[in-house]
Amino acid sequence: MLVTRMLRQMVGRTVAPACSCRTTVLPVRFLGISPPQVPAGANSHSASFSETDLPRVLITGGLGQLGVGLANLLRKRFGKDNVILSDIKKPPAHVFHGGPFIYADVLDYKHLREIVVNNRVTWLLHYSALLSAVGEANVSLARAVNITGLHNILDVSAEHNLRLFVPSTIGAFGPTSPRNPTPDLCIQRPRTIYGVSKVHAELLGEYYHYRYGLDFRCLRYPGIISADSQPGGGTTDYAVQIFQDAVKSGRFECNLQASTRLPMMYIEDCLRATLEIMEAPAESLSMRIYNVNAMSFTPEELAQEVLKHVPEFQITYRVDPLRQAIADSWPMNLDDSNARKDWGWKHGFDLPELVTTMLNFYGSHTRVAQAN
Ligand SMILES: NC(=O)c1ccc[n+]([C@@H]2O[C@H](COP(=O)([O-])OP(=O)(O)OC[C@H]3O[C@@H](n4cnc5c(N)ncnc54)[C@H](O)[C@@H]3O)[C@@H](O)[C@H]2O)c1
């Protein structure tokens, strides 16, 4: 009874007694706004997305390292006009002309709701965030964007019965987690605001799934390596910069120690994993949050691989204590066996393919720039 009374105080209206079944009571923000849209006993499939309909997709924080690539992939699959990219920054011309783009601040709940309603959105991929190093430099903004923003996203998704994807990270683990390999379920005590906010997102998303039937899906990405988009201030950014510098000057100064092992993935694998988990039948998902992995290496091992292509390449080390402390608390390797077993995850890029692809990209761009 105490639980029921507390819940009643929280939601401000009658609550069914606690039981293992799902209830239709929605968070307080929904009440008096629109009728709950999650039917009693709803399963994990979005009721608004029938198998014959194409999803109507909204991507938040879409102008960072990963969003434009994700929009391109989803547009190929679902059609250009079914995928809306959004951010609070001004898009470059090629993005603006590449498909629908709108301004969306995840801190503005009413506007988010307006966007979802006016565009008949059925899938939301929530990429807005302040990453690890940037978040430590501005904790209050990181707390607002990563936590308050997520609350808005969860509520609008539950209210409109969306399928919601929120990426998590290796940063959601901490020094007391098993680090090599790190399983899906283990202790998570991160020491950055980024990590804390991602654990919060994982737990709250899972809670909304069991409590309100929200179709919440989440992958813990490793460090993502991309050629045509810049990283946004994470601890694994060195593994992008090294290729640019190797091609430009043959030298690279690394801000992590030579032996710092971290899990990594090429962007193409990351975006494909995201599409695959979004399309996975609900009954194949034994969990709502999965580790995904591709490779794991140290700066020294990466440099050795670069040397095979750029024989004059030199790496030196000037360690940034903030980033090193973060990296030392993160997994060295992720155990992603559940993703492989449940929905068939398989990475395509190992270290040699990654290095060849990245060097080819920067090499050909440098050659074009020199020719011009
Ligand atoms: N890139 C990686 O290596 C990596 C690894 C693990 C997880 N992730 C996760 O993937 C997602 C995308 O990562 P990314 O590397 O593209 O991030 P990024 O930092 O490059 O981009 C984040 C975007 O969020 C936007 N943003 C900031 N405040 C906002 C607000 N109030 N409203 C709307 N948008 C706002 C920024 O303008 C930026 O374009 C993030 O959630 C991140 O935590 C990324």
Q: Is the pLDDT of residue 160 over 80?
A: yes
For the ranges 39-53, 64-78, 209-223, 294-308, the lowest mean pLDDT is seen at 39-53
Instruction: Output the CA 259–ligand 1 centroid distance in Å.
Output: 27
Q: Is the pLDDT of residue 28 over 50?
A: yes
Can you give the pLDDT at residue 232?
82
The set of residues, in sequence order, having a beta carbon less than 8 Å from that of 136 and lying 6+ positions away, is: 142, 192, 193, 194, 322, 326
Instruction: Output the CA 239–ligand 1 centroid distance in Å.
Output: 17
pTM of the model: 0.89
Q: What is the band of 233 on the pLDDT scale with cuts at 50, 70, 90?
A: confident
Q: Cβ–Cβ contacts within 10 Å for residue 138, how many?
A: 13
**Residue to mutate (ligand 1; options 111, 112, 128; most atoms within 8 A of CB):** 128
DSSP string, 180-229: SSBPSSS----SSHHHHHHHHHHHHHHHHHHHH--EEEEEEE-EEE-SSS
Phi, psi of 129 (to 5 degrees): -175, 160
Question: Choosing from 103, 109, 127, 194, which is the catalytic residue?
Answer: 194
Mean pLDDT in residue range 85-102: 98
Q: Which domains does the chain have, with CATH numbers?
A: 40-224+265-295+332-349 (3.40.50.720)
Q: Is the dihedral of CA 364, 350, 170, 73 positive or negative?
A: positive
DSSP string, 288-334: SEEE---EEE-HHHHHHHHHTT-TT-EEEE---HHHHHHHHTS-SSB
Instruction: Verify whether ligand 1 is closer than 6 Å to residue 359 (CB atom).
Output: no
For the ranges 37-46, 290-299, 304-313, the lowest mean pLDDT is seen at 37-46
Instruction: Verify whether ligand 1 is closer than 6 Å to residue 132 (CB atom).
Output: no
Q: For this structure, is 127 an active site residue?
A: no
Can you give the pLDDT at residue 314?
97
Instruction: Verify whether ligand 1 is closer than 6 Å to residue 223 (CB atom).
Output: yes
Instruction: Verify whether ligand 1 is closer than 6 Å to residue 142 (CB atom).
Output: no
Query: Which of ligand 1's atoms lies nearest the C-alpha of 229?
Result: 20
Instruction: Output the residue whose Cα is nearest ligand 1's atom 18.
Output: 64
Q: Is the pLDDT of residue 271 over 60?
A: yes
Mean pLDDT in residue range 203-219: 98
- Taking CA atoms, 200 is separated from 17, 30, 172, 182, in Å, by 26, 21, 9, 19
- Spatial contact of 285 and 343, defined as CB atoms under 8 Å apart: yes
Instruction: Verify whether ligand 1 is closer than 6 Å to residue 331 (CB atom).
Output: no
Instruction: Verify whether ligand 1 is closer than 6 Å to residue 70 (CB atom).
Output: no
With a pLDDT cut of 90, the percent of the chain lying above it is 81
Can you give the pLDDT at residue 372?
55
Q: What is the band of 228 on the pLDDT scale with cuts at 50, 70, 90?
A: confident
Q: Is the pLDDT of residue 215 over 70?
A: yes
Can you give the pLDDT at residue 30?
61
Instruction: Output the CA 15–ligand 1 centroid distance in Å.
Output: 36
Mean pLDDT in residue range 324-341: 97
Query: Which of ligand 1's atoms lies nearest the C-alpha of 233?
Result: 19
Strand bridging mode 223-225 / 262-266: parallel
Q: Is the pLDDT of residue 5 over 90?
A: no
For the ranges 176-180, 194-198, 366-370, the lowest mean pLDDT is seen at 366-370
With a pLDDT cut of 70, the percent of the chain lying above it is 84
